[in-house]
Chains A and B, each alone.
Chain A
Amino acid sequence: MKFSKQNNKAVHSGEAEASPPAKKPVTVLHVDDDPNDTTLLQVACARAAVDFQLQNVGDGLEVIHYLSGAGKYADRERYEIPGLVLLDLKMPRATGWEILKWIRGHALLNHLPVIVLSGSELQEDKLRAFEGGATSYLVKPPNFNSLVNMVKDIGAQLPILPQPKVGGV
C-alpha cells in the first residue's frame, strides 16, 4: 500500500543486526478513553501471552504529547516510541481522526503503523479511516475470546510491520 519496500528492508536489516542482546519488547500504544476497553485489552494480552508491551493513553491531547515526547513523556525509557498504535475513534479533546491526521502529517512519525480499533462497523467509517492513512481497520470484537484471538493476530503481525524511522533508536 503506502509503505515502500525501503521500509521493509530497513526493518529486516535492523533485525539482522540486533540479534545478540535480548530485544526490547515493542511497545504498542493503545489509545482509548473507555477504561473497560483498556481493562479487557490488558487481560486479553495477558491471556494471549503476547511479547509486546501495552501502553494506554486515554486522552487525545495526551497521545500527541506522548508521541512528541512532551512533558513527562520525554522519558523515553519509560514511554517508548510505539511500534504500533491501536486507535479508537471516539476520544475526548481530540478525535481519532484528528490524531491520525497528526501522525500522518508528522515528519518523523508519519510511517507509524496505525490500526483503527473501533466499535463501529459502518462502511463510511472504514472508508474514512483508510483515506486518512490507517494501516488497517479492526472492529472491536463482541466477546472476549474473539478479542484474545485478535490480540494473538496482532502479536504475530508486529514483526513484519514497517517501523518508523526515529533518530536514536
Chain B
Amino acid sequence: MAETASQLFLLRLSRRASVAVILVGGLVLAGWLLHVQILKSAGRGFIAMNPLTALLFIIAGFALIRAGQRSRKRPDLVVMICGIIIVLGGATKIAECALGVDLNLDQMLFQRQVNSGGPYGPNEIAMNTALSFVCCGAALLLLDMQTKRGIRPAQTFIIIEGLLALLALIGYGYRVLPLYSFGSKLPMALNTAICFELFAIAAITVRPSRGLMMVITSDTTGGAMARRLLPAAIFIPLILGALLFSSEKHGFFATESGISLFAFANIVLFTGVVWWNAKLLFWAEEERLKAMEKLKRMAADLERSNTELQQFAYVASHDLTEPLRMVVSYLELLNSRAGEKLDAQEREFIGYASDGARRMQHLIQDLLAYARVDTRGRPLEPTDCERVLASVMANLKVAIAESQTVVEHDPLPTVEGDVVQLTQVFQNLIGNAIKFHGKQAPRIHVGAVRRNGEWVFDVKDNGIGIDPKNFERIFVLFQRLHTRQEYPGTGMGLAICKKIVERHGGRIWVESKPGEGTAFYFTIAAKNEKANGH
C-alpha cells in the first residue's frame, strides 16, 4: 500500500515521540544515578519520576521504534515481550495496593535514594501511573490485532492511557491536585504525565494506515475534516480554559461571568470552525458532482459510439460483401464460358481481377474480425489454455501436415479469458510460425511462465526471423513485410492479436533475428488461477 504524505509524516512523528520518551527516561535514570535532581523531575519543586517508571518508559519507547520499522502484518515477538514486561510492572503495583502486599518493586532500583525520597516521602509509583502502564503494555501487546469488524483493541488502551495522562496534565496546568493524583500518596509526576502523552502520540501514529489514523490521514473529505477540526477541538477549550483561569486569578470578573463568557466564547468559536469546515466540504462535494456528471456524459458518448460501430460492422457484413460476391461469381462464369475464346493473357487478366476481388473479401472479413474483438468480446472467464491449444492444432491440422511442422508445448495454465479470442491469438501466432518457415521444416515451441502476477506465454519458431527495425511495425493494421507472391496474408493477423491481448489487459511483443527464428511473447494477468498439473 503506497503511503500518503500524511502517513509518512505520522510515522516520523511516532519515531520522534518514541525517541523523546526514551530520552526523558534515560535522563531520569542518569539523574538517579548521578544524584542530579534536575534530571529526575520536571522542575524545582516537582515530584521526581520513579526509576522503575523511567526504565519502563525506555522499554516502551524502544518497542514503539521497533514496531514502526517492521512489517505490519505479523506481530513482532520482541514488541510483545516488551508489552508483557510493562503490563507486569503496572499490574504488580495495582495488585500490591489491592491486596495490601508490599512488593516494593518500585523501590528496588536505587533503593536508598528512593526511600529517603524528598519532601513527599518514598518515591512510589502512583496508582494512575500504574494503571497507565498496564494500558501501555496492553497496547503494545495487541498493537496489530484487528477484529473482523475492524476494531483495534490497542487503540482503546492508548486512548485510556492518553486520557489519564491528559487529565494529569490539565491538572498540573490549572493547578488542580485531585486531577493528577487519585488513590495514592504521591501523584503522577509531571514528566511522567508528559511521557505518557508522548507515548500515546507515538503509539497511535505508529500505524498511520489503520484504525483512527486511517481516517485522519485518508484522502477523503472525512480525513480533511478530521485534520481541520481536531486541532480546533483540542486547543480552543484549552486556551479558553486558561484564559478563564488567568482572568479569574487576576480578578477581571467573578466566577459566574467568567463561566458564562467561557460558554459564550466556546459557542462562537466552535460555530465558526464548523461553518468554515462545512463550506469547504460543500465546495468539495460540488466539484465531485461536476466530475461525476462529466463522467456520465463520457460514458454515454462511448456507449453511442460503440453502438454505431456495431451497426457499421453489420452493414459492412451485408452490403460490402454482396457486390464482391457478384464480381467474383461473374468473373468465374466468364472464365468458364468464354475461356476458350480468350488468349492466355486475357485469361490472366480475368485471373488477376478475380484475385483482387477475393483479396478484398478476405480483407473485409479480417476487418470485421478486428472490429469484433471488442464489440463481440465475451466476458472473461476461466479458460484452459491446454484445450485452446488442442483446438488450434485441430484447426491447423492440414497446414501442419503439409509443412511437416512439429509443435511442442509446456503445460499451459488456466487463465481468465475469452476462449474464442485466445484461440484466435494462438492460431494466428502458430499459423504465422508455420507460414514463415525457412528451409527447414517448422519447429514450434509454446510455453508459459508465471512472473510478477501474470502469465507470460511464448510461441517460438525456427523460421525466417524478423529484422529488429520492424518489431513495432508488424503489429500495425495492414502492415506486411513481404509481397503477396512471397507469402500470402492480409496484414491483420498480428493487429488482431494485439487488440485481443490488450483487451485481456496484457502486452504482446517479439524477439527475433533475421534467419534465426522468432519468438512472440504475450502476457495475460494471473488472478488466483491454477496451472494445470502444478
Residues on A facing B (Cβ under 8 Å): 34, 36, 40, 43, 90, 119-122, 140-145, 147
A147 to B328, CA, bound (A): 11
Distance A36 CA – B329 CA, assembled complex (angstroms): 10
Knowing A142-B361, A144-B336, say if A120 contacts B317 (CB, 8 Å).
Answer: yes
Q: How many Å from the CB of A21 to the closest CB on chain B?
A: 36
- Residues of chain B contacted by A40 (CB below 8 angstroms): 326, 329-330, 333
A89 CB → nearest B CB, Å? 9
B residues 315-329 in Cβ contact with A at 8 Å: 317-318, 321-322, 324-326, 328-329
By a CB distance below 8 angstroms, the chain A residues around B322 are: 34, 119
- Listed A/B pairs (29) with beta-carbon separation below 8 Å: A36-B326, A40-B326, A40-B330, A40-B333, A43-B333, A90-B318, A119-B318, A119-B321, A119-B322, A120-B317, A121-B317, A122-B317, A140-B325, A141-B325, A142-B321, A142-B324, A142-B325, A142-B328, A142-B329, A142-B358, A142-B361, A143-B329, A143-B358, A144-B328, A144-B329, A144-B332, A144-B336, A145-B332, A147-B329
Closest to B328 in A: A143
How far is B329's CA from A142's CA once the two chains are assembled, in angstroms?
7
Instruction: List, in ascending order, chain B residues with CB within 8 A of A147's CB.
Output: 329
* A168 CA / B318 CA spacing, docked (Å): 41
Q: Report Cα–Cα, A43/B335, bound state, in Å.
A: 14
Q: How many angstroms from the CA of A40 to the CA of B358 in the assembled complex? A: 18
By a CB distance below 8 angstroms, the chain B residues around A145 are 332
Tell me the complex Cα distance, A140–B328, Å.
12
Which residue, A36, A90, A140, has most C-beta atoms of chain B within 10 A?
Answer: A36
Q: How far does the alpha carbon of A90 sit from the alpha carbon of B318 in the complex, in Å?
A: 10
Which residues of B, 284-339, contact A by the 8 Å Cβ criterion?
314, 317-318, 321-322, 324-326, 328-330, 332-333, 336
Contacts of A143 in B (CB 8 A): 325, 328-329, 332, 358
| Nearest Cβ on chain A to B351's Cβ, whole angstroms | 13
**A64 → B minimal CB distance (Å):** 24
Interface of A is mostly: loop
Interface residues of B in 370-427 (CB under 8 A from A): none
The CA-CA distance from A142 to B314 in the complex, in Å, is: 18
Residues on the B chain within 8 Å of A43, using CB: 333
A88–B330 Cα distance when bound, in Å, is: 20
Is there contact, CB below 8 Å, between A120 and B326?
A: no
Which B residues are CB-close (under 8 A) to A144? 328-330, 332-333, 336
Q: Count of chain B residues with Cβ under 8 Å from any Cβ of A?
A: 16
Q: Which residues of A contact B332 (CB under 8 A)?
A: 143-145
Q: Which one of B325, B333, B336 lies within 8 Å of A119 (CB-CB)?
A: B325
A144 to B331, CA, bound (A): 9
Residue in B318, B328, B358 with the greatest tally of chain A CB atoms within 10 Å: B318
The reply to whether A120 and B325 contact each other, CB–CB distance below 8 Å, is no
Q: Which residues from A are CB-within-8-Å of B324?
A: 142
Q: Which 9 A-B pairs have the closest CB atoms?
A: A144-B332, A144-B329, A143-B328, A36-B326, A119-B322, A144-B333, A120-B318, A40-B329, A142-B325
The CA-CA distance from A97 to B500 in the complex, in Å, is 35
Q: When A36-B326, A143-B328 are in contact, do A122 and B333 touch as well, CB less than 8 Å?
A: no
Q: A119-B322, A142-B329, A144-B332 are in contact. List 15 more A-B contacts (CB 8 A).
A: A36-B330, A40-B326, A119-B321, A119-B325, A122-B317, A140-B325, A141-B325, A142-B324, A142-B361, A143-B329, A143-B358, A144-B329, A144-B330, A144-B336, A145-B332
Residues on the B chain within 8 Å of A120, using CB: 317-318
The smallest C-beta distance from A9 to any residue of chain B, in angstroms, reads 40
In the complex, the chain A residue whose C-beta lies closest to that of B361 is: A142
Closest-by-CB residue of A relative to B334 is A144
Query: How distant is the Cα of A109 from the Cα of B324 in the complex, in angstroms?
Result: 35
CA A147 to CA B324, docked complex, whole Å: 14
Contact at B314–A122, with CB atoms within 8 Å? yes
Interface residues of B in 325-370 (CB under 8 A from A): 325-326, 328-330, 332-333, 336, 358, 361
Bound-complex Cα distance A141 to B333 (A): 14
Residue of B whose beta carbon sits closest to that of A144: B332
Alpha-carbon gap, A120 to B368, bound state (A): 13
The residue in chain A whose Cβ has the minimal distance to the Cβ of B332 is: A144
CA A123 – CA B324 in complex, angstroms?
A: 21
B333's closest neighbor in chain A, by CB? Answer: A144
Q: How far is the CA of A144 from the CA of B314 in the complex (A)?
A: 24
Q: How far is the CA of A110 from the CA of B326 in the complex (A)?
A: 33
- Nearest neighbor of B335 in chain A, beta-carbon distance: A144
Q: For residue A34, which residues in chain B have a CB less than 8 angstroms away from its CB?
A: 322
How near does chain A come to B396, taking the closest CB pair, in angstroms? 22
In the assembled complex, the Cα of A34 lies from the Cα of B326 at a distance in Å of 10
Shortest distance between the CB of B69 and any CB in chain A (Å): 61
B499 CB, min distance to chain A CBs, angstroms: 20
Quick one: which of B324, B330, B333, B358 has the most chain A CB within 10 A?
B333
Q: Which of B322, B324, B361 has the most CB of A within 10 A?
A: B322
Instruction: Give the residues in chain A near B325, CB-CB below 8 Å.
Output: 119, 140-143
Residue of B nearest to A89 (CB): B318
Chain B, 176-203, contact with A by CB distance < 8 Å: what is the 0/1 string? 0000000000000000000000000000
Closest CB in chain A relative to B530 CB, distance in Å:
32
